[in-house]
């Protein structure tokens, strides 16, 4: 039997296939903010609101050769992607908070199914979750348009489904102390951490990656799969995220550096309530 190998593409060849992901390969480091409402059976409480200032490293490595997907209703498609490792720790205690290996793909438009070009993220999380989220990418002049994001939990079932919670459950969202260095108001709107980080910067250009586990592309959506313990105790039902790859002008005017910002919301469901788990960060490429 003769082995068949696919040679890695050169940088010049791979950049067009990576498309909006072309700037990702490399190592990014920075800080952020994490907010999660989690069950607290151990202390006989319905939930505990945890907030952390975070340190993060995010490393992307290019997949060496184009990936062939064989077609039965159309010609084969070929595309490229990057695999990544995300590591997040608490900025004060240095304790580990999150570990995530995964893949980003830059998928071309197709005719069967009829679908536009898209970006896709696949991820696995050691809690026992795996996800597929898909969406689109655009490049714009100037900086990102970072809209507020709400941490307020909502009813998931019954006549008030989709409506914000009221009453005692909201008390921790106003009484929990913020970590040092996190802007006031960031519990209600964690994206304030992102806008605060760039308030004095001149951003020349931004590539925007928008993904969601519920966005239909070509007639189907992504989704999240959870192991039984997660399903029973605090199941992750959906995720959406925006990544901004920014070209930031240096203060002395000598060119630019690359910066990556993101906001991500995972909805956790327990007690018939949808609890937003929001993570944001600002990272610089080294």
Looking at residue 168, what is its pLDDT? 87
5 belongs to a structural domain: no
CATH of the domain at 23: 2.40.128.20
1 within some domain: no
**How many separate domains does the chain show?**
1
List of the chain residues with pLDDT < 70: 1-16
Instruction: Give the pLDDT confidence of 53-64 residue by residue, as tens digits.
Output: 999 999 999 999
HEC assignment per residue over 28-70: EEEEEEEEEEEEEHHHCEEEEEEEEEEEEEEEEEECCCCEEEC
Q: Among candidates 212, 258, 277, which has minimal Cα distance to 48?
A: 277
Q: Does residue 23 form part of some domain?
A: yes
Asked whether residue 192 is domain-assigned, the answer is: yes
pTM of the predicted model as reported, rounded to 2 decimal places: 0.93
Nearest to 133 by CA among 277, 243, 26, 18: 243
Domain span holding position 264: 11-285
What is the per-residue pLDDT for 16? 67
Does 243 map to a domain? yes
């Amino acid at each position: 039997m003769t082995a068949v190998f696919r040679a890695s593409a050169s940088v010049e060849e791979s950049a067009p296939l990576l498309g909006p992901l072309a700037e990702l390969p490399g190592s990014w480091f920075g800080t952020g903010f994490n907010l999660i409402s989690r069950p607290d059976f151990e202390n006989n409480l319905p939930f505990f609101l945890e907030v952390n200032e975070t340190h993060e490293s995010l490393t992307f490595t290019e997949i060496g050769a184009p990936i062939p997907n064989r077609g039965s209703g159309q010609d084969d498609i070929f595309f490229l992607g990057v695999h990544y490792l995300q590591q997040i720790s608490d900025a004060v205690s240095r304790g580990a908070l999150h570990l995530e290996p995964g893949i980003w793909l830059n998928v071309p438009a197709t005719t069967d199914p009829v679908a536009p070009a898209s970006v896709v993220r696949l991820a696995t999380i050691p809690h026992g979750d795996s996800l597929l989220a898909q969406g689109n990418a655009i490049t714009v002049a100037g900086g990102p348009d970072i809209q507020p994001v709400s941490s307020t939990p909502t009813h998931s079932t019954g006549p008030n489904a989709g409506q914000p919670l009221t009453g005692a459950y909201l008390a921790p969202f106003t009484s929990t102390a913020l970590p040092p260095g996190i802007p006031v108001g960031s519990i209600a709107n964690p994206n304030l951490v992102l806008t605060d980080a760039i308030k004095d910067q001149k951003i020349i250009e931004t590539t925007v990656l928008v993904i969601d586990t519920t966005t239909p592309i070509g007639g189907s959506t992504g989704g999240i799969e959870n192991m039984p313990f997660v399903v029973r105790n605090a199941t992750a039902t959906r995720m959406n995220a925006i990544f901004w790859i920014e070209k930031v002008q240096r203060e002395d005017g000598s060119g630019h550096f690359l910066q990556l910002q993101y906001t991500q919301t995972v909805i956790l469901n327990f007690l018939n309530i949808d609890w937003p788990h929001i993570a944001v960060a600002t990272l610089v490429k080294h």
